Amino acid sequence: MRSQKMLPVNELAEGILAKKRVVLGQAITRIESRKTEDQEDAKLLIEKLLPFTGNSIRIGITGAPGVGKSTFIETFGKYVTDNGKKIAVLAIDPSSPKSKGSILGDKTRMENLSRNPNAFIRPTPAGDLLGGVANNTRETILLCEAAGFDVIIVETVGVGQSEVTVRSMVDFFLLLMLAGAGDELQGIKKGIMEMADAIVITKADHDNILPAQKAKSEYQNALHLFEAAPSGWIPKVITSSAITSSGIDEVWSMIENYREKTLTNGYLNKNREEQDVEWFRSQLKYLIESLLFGSFISIEEINLLENRVKQKDISPIQATQEVMSKLKKRLNLSFAL
C-alpha cells in the first residue's frame, strides 16, 4: 500500500510547475521506481508536464575519472546562477556490479552548489544501463524543465562505456580532458571526440598552464580532421581551471552561441525531434522484450538455456533458436528463423 505522504499525480504536477524543489525530488523518485503503480503515475505525470518542457539548454558532460567533472560543474554552476539562470545537475554515479548500489557522492563533492537556491542536484545510480546514464534520465530532464530550470546538466559516469546514449538526450556534448596525462590524442577514443561539441582542458592552473595550452593546440588540430558536424557548429577547445575560474565564462559564452546558432539554422529542434523518435524506439524495444520474456518465455527457461550455454551443451546461436522456436509456437506466428 502506498504511503500517505506520496502525492497524487495532479499535486505532483502542480508542485513542479510551482517550482517546489521537494515536490520535484519526490516526482523523480516516482519516475525512478519500478513499482507498477508508480510507473503508471510516471507516464501520466510526463503527459501532463510535456507542454511545459523544452525551454532549457541540455548539456552532457563526460570525462575520465579524475578529470574533475564535479569540481568543474560546481564552478560552472556558480557562474551560471550568478548570471540569473537556474541549473539542474543530474549526476550519475557508478553502481556496484555486485550490490547495484551507488555511492551517490556528488552532493558532497558539489557542497557549495547544493546549497545554492538556484541549483538542484540529483545523484542517481547508473544501474546496468550503458552510456553512463540512468534508466530514467530523459524523464528527469523533462521534470526539471517543467520546474523552470534553464540549464540541465547530465554528468555521466565516465568509465569508458559508450557515450552514445547521453549524446542522444542532450543538445550540447562537452568532453573534459586533462593535459599531461600521457599521449592525449592516443588516450582518447576517436568516437567520443567526434561526438563532442567542445573539449575543455581542465585544471589549467599553476604549473599545468603550459601543458594545457599545448594539449589545446593538439586537440584543436585533431578536430579539424573530422567531418563537419550536421549542426553546422565547429567544435572548439578551451582551457579552464575550476580553482581560478579561468575559462568558465568562455565555456558558457560558447554554449550560448551554440544554442543561438542551432536555433537559427533549425538544427536544435530537428535534433530533439530525432532524439524523441530514438527514445520512442528504445522504449518500444524495452516494452516488447518485457512482454515477451515476462509473458511467453519464463525466467526459468532463460536461466536453463544460459546454464546449457555455460556447460557447452549448446551454442549461443542454438539457444537463441530455441527461444525463437518457443515464441513462434506460443504466439502462433509464422516467421522464418
Task: State pLDDT tens for residues 201-248.
Answer: 999 999 999 999 999 998 888 888 888 889 999 999 999 999 999 999
Q: How confident is the model at residue 91 (pLDDT cuts 50, 70, 90)?
A: confident
Count of H helices and E strands in the chain? Answer: 14, 7
| Mean pLDDT for the stretch of residues 100-108 | 49
Q: Which residue has the cell 565564462?
A: 249
Residue where one domain finishes, among candidates 215, 240, 265:
265
313: domain range?
Answer: 277-331
Q: For residue 136, what pLDDT is reported?
A: 85
Domain-located, residue 232: yes
Residues 208 and 312 in one domain: no
Q: How confident is the model at residue 106 (pLDDT cuts 50, 70, 90)?
A: low
What is the per-residue burial (b if ≥16 Cβ within 10 Å, else e) of 260-272?
Answer: eebeeeebbeebe
Q: For residue 267, what pLDDT is reported?
A: 97
How many independent structural domains does the chain possess?
2
* CA distances, 46 to each of 24, 28, 43 (Å): 12, 11, 5
Domain-located, residue 336: no
Q: For residue 326, what pLDDT is reported?
A: 86
Domain-located, residue 27: no
- The CATH number for 90's domain is 3.40.50.300
Q: For residue 28, what pLDDT is reported?
A: 94
What is d(CA 290, CA 254) in angstroms, rounded to the nearest whole number? 42
Domain-located, residue 168: yes
Residues 181 and 284 in one domain: no
Q: Which residue has the cell 556490479?
A: 97
With residue 212 as reference, give the H or E element that holds it. Answer: helix 209-223
